[in-house]
Amino acid sequence: MAKVESTSSKKLSAIYVFGDSTVDPGNNNNLYTLVKSNFAPYGMDFPNQVATGRFTNGKLTTDYIGVKKELLPPYLDSKLRSMEDLMTGNVIPMAKQLEYFRECKRRLEGSKLGKEGTESHMQKAIFVISAATNDFVVNYFTLPIRRSYTLFTYQHFLIQHVKDFVQNLWKEGGRRIAVVGLPPMGCLPIMITSKSNNSFKERGCIDKYSSIARDYNQMLQQELQSLQLNLPYPGAKVYYIDIYQPLADMVQHHEKYGFDEVNKGCCGSGYIEASFLCNNISLVCSDPSKYVFWDSIHPTQEAYHNIFLAARSTIDFIINDH
């Protein structure tokens, strides 16, 4: 895989990433949950095949943005102690993300940075929010929660939470906030397996579920534009990052990217395995770089890298738009 130059510059002090398993670098390692990935074969493409807790075979899209470190550190890692680590950026779980971020901010204010230095640091940082995929795939499409919501009201429910989170980050001093849209959910192997009539034979994307992602992304962009037009904080900006089209393009035109397999994951059967179902006794494909998906939900390092390349111009714009 080609080496990517760092996007870091003097205009960027840190990257703080909030979201679900698609951007988690290992916070779940420190939580009481079965949904972990700190074991083989996860991380098989890292040196010495170290499983970091990332739900893939190597790096995530956010790791390629890197400021000072090759990999973004998880905030809940017990080894994350130095101010340098805190000032580099991190990924924290959605459930307590704002609480952890406020704790992080207090630690920075109590360091040699002080309040004024921390304020400057936050203004030069980029905040990335990547959420809602699990809310649909694991919750709305699977659990009885959908009985309480129509699809439309559930979409608005999630978007309102995103808007509230953006505004809370602005209150805490963040100024450049990027919100990531949904992927083509109907192309995820787990969705093809669970929602297709021919789940193990004629496999392919189910547009019914991808169209839901398209609708959500359009609504999200409209709401973010409205936020931008009614900003209460000087210099505050919000941006949208599209991952739908890059991933859809990899599936639809896989030969162009060098992929051989697009509708099942590399780990196990590739149909249903994820987290603890993808483990050290699972069969693993010989070359993950030929697969779009690592397990039944998460892309491979190669796919994450392609998403980064597709979003590179947007990321560079955000970094320099200050």
- Active-site residue numbers? 21, 295, 298
Helices (H), the chain: 83-88, 97-109, 114-123, 133-134, 151-171, 189-195, 207-229, 244-252, 254-257, 301-320
What is the number of other CB atoms lying within 10 angstroms of the CB of residue 153? 10
**128-to-48, 90, 239, 261 alpha-carbon distances in Å:** 29, 10, 9, 29
Strand partners, 293: 299
Beta strand pairing call for 91-93 and 176-180: unpaired
The Cα–Cα gap between 293 and 85 comes to: 30
Helices (H), 124-269: 133-134, 151-171, 189-195, 207-229, 244-252, 254-257
The one-letter code for the residue type at 15 is I
Per 3-state DSSP, the chain is made up of helix, strand and coil in percentages (nearest 5) of 45, 10, 45
| Cα distance from N-terminal residue to C-terminal residue, the chain | 32
The Cα–Cα gap between 94 and 226 comes to: 24
Write out the two tokens for 28: 């779940």
Q: Yes or no: say if 242 and 181 are a contact pair by the CB < 8 Å rule.
A: yes
